[in-house]
Amino acid sequence: MTPAGDVVLDLGDIRVTDTARVGPKIARLGQLASAGWPVPDGYAVTVHALGGWLPRQARSEIEQLASVLNETDFDPVALSHASERVRALIESQPLPSWLEDAVLSAHERLRTRTGRGPRLRVAVRSSAVGEDSAKASFAGQYSTFLGITDAADVLRHIRKCWASGYSAWAVQYRRRAGLPPHAHDLAVGVMELVNARSAGVVFTLDPVTGDRGRMVVEANWGFGESVVSGQVTPDYWAVDRASSQVAERRVGGKHMWTVFDPATATVTLVPLPADLARQPCLDDDEVRYLCRKAAEIEDAEGVPQDVEWAIARNAPFPDSVFILQHRPETTWPAAPAPGAQPSFDPVQFALRNVFKVPRA
């Protein structure tokens, strides 16, 4: 039985209104692409696909998983065993042909659009619908796989992404959030892998102090995973928003980097050569350009953002800059932009609307 909704969408057809189908991460990327921003091309396997397909045996295992959780003092060991069984089932079963066909034809279209044919390397990323509302906790909880070329491997890693929706952590999270045990909220994005020279994050406010007069860039050589996963101390720049001047710069302790290893055909974290480690991985022009682009995204979204980006090898700047994803910065959501007149005065509001003091 095929599901009612679309199971695979090309990035060019995705808008922010598709959040419920593909998750906010991919929906925003589609929105950026439609506005002409440089983002890696790709496609998404929607939440309908997972809802429409699950091995029968996996369904009953999931029911069992749910029943373990419903006990007042559930046994964490039983939970992790139940979770293992569900994941093993999902990873081992082939996709149904309607879904496999849809993915393979989307993959073929992507190979054609990018002009890379069978040499195309992709990232396969989980994308949960509730994701960045709970960023702190979701980060790193669902799987992402980088550097995949073979189409059969793509299919296999899509299953692995889905399986990560049934980790002990994920099922407990859904239970606490009052959601059903099925990971019907998980989509998967398949994106061209940007062959990154340097990559990292821009915060449109200082994430430590919440100061909106400063933007912060953190980056390392190679793919951004070493930065996002916190495995290195990245290079750091603070940029004054008003003047666009670099106000502070620090070369980080970048002893590792994430690179594509042709020998194993995988993306891995390996030691960074000492001469590269000592060099900042961006120049000031690149830092200022990244801040300007992030500020434009913030303007469009209305709230501070963190923006993941990569600068591709073998392309002239600034065409080499790609936006990989962005999301609201929830830790410091509400500091007013510098110079803005606050529109809410808690004291006057309390006097008039809480204590009901009439104006004299």
Partner 1 sequence: MAVQEEPKVIPVDDFVRDELYPGYTQAFGTQPFVAGPVRPFSKADNASYWLRDSLHFSEGMVPASIALLDDAQTWGAQLGAEIVGVPPTRGSVNRLAGTHVYIGTIDVDTDWQIQARAARFGQYVGPILADFDRYWAMRAGELQSAYHHFDNLDLAAMDSGQLWTAVKDGYAFHRRAWFIHFEVMYVLTANYLAFYQLAEEIGLEGSLVSAFLSGRQTFYSTTDEELWKLAGRARELEVTGPLLHTDPAAVRGQLEALPHGRTWLNEFDGFLRTYGWRTEETCRIDTPSWIEDPSPALYAIASFLAKPAGFDFHAARQDAVAERDAQIEAARRAVNGSDLRRFNEALASNQAANFAWWNEEHNYLIDRRAAIPVRRASLELGARLVDEGKLTAPDDIFFLFKPELFAVMEGDGPGWPALTSMIPDRRAYFEDWRRRGPELPTMLGTIPDAVPDPIMIEVFGLSGHFLETLKGGGAAQELRGFPAAKGVAEGVARVITSVAELHKVQPGEILVCGGTTTEWTPVFGIIKACVCDTGGSLTHAAIVSREYGIPCVVGTAAATKTIKTGDRVRVDGRQGTVQVFGSQAP
| Interacting residue ranges for partner 1, rule: CB under 8 A | 72-77, 130, 132-138, 169, 172-173, 176-178, 302-303, 328, 330, 333-336, 342-351, 353-357, 360
Residue type present at position 349? F
Q: Between 261 and 345, name the residue whose CB sits nearer to partner 1.
A: 345
Residue 317 vs 349, nearer CB to partner 1: 349
Cα distance between residue 246 and residue 292, in whole Å: 12
Question: Which residue from 129, 174, 126, 170 is spatially nearest to 21, judged by alpha carbons?
Answer: 129
Closer residue to partner 1 (CB): 315 or 351:
351
The nearest distance, CB 127 to partner 1, in angstroms, is 16
Between 236 and 332, CB nearer to partner 1: 332
Backbone angles phi, psi at 25, to 5 degrees: -60, -50
- Using the minimum distance from each CB to partner 1, give the nearer residue, 40 or 207: 207
Shortest Cβ 204–partner 1 spacing (Å): 14
DSSP state string for 289-346 = HHHHHHHHHHHHHSS-EEEEEEEETTS-TTTTEEEEEEEE--SS--PPPTTPPPS--H
Q: How far is the CB of 31 from partner 1 (least distance, A)?
A: 15
Residue 350 CB, nearest approach to partner 1 (Å): 4
Residue with Cβ nearer partner 1 (93 or 141)? 141
Helix (H) or strand (E) holding 87: helix 76-92
Q: How far is the CB of 186 from partner 1 (least distance, A)?
A: 16
The answer to whether 204 and 294 have CB atoms below 8 angstroms apart is yes
Radius of gyration of the chain (CA): 22
Question: Which of 42/181 has CB closer to partner 1?
Answer: 181
| Closest separation in Å from C-beta 345 to partner 1 | 8
Taking alpha carbons only, the member of 287, 280, 198, 200 closest to residue 241 is 287
Closest C-alpha among 62, 60, 14, 63 to residue 39: 14
CB 149 within 8 A of CB 124: no
Q: What's the min distance (Å) between Cβ of 240 and partner 1?
A: 21
Helices (H) and strands (E) in the chain, counts: 12, 13
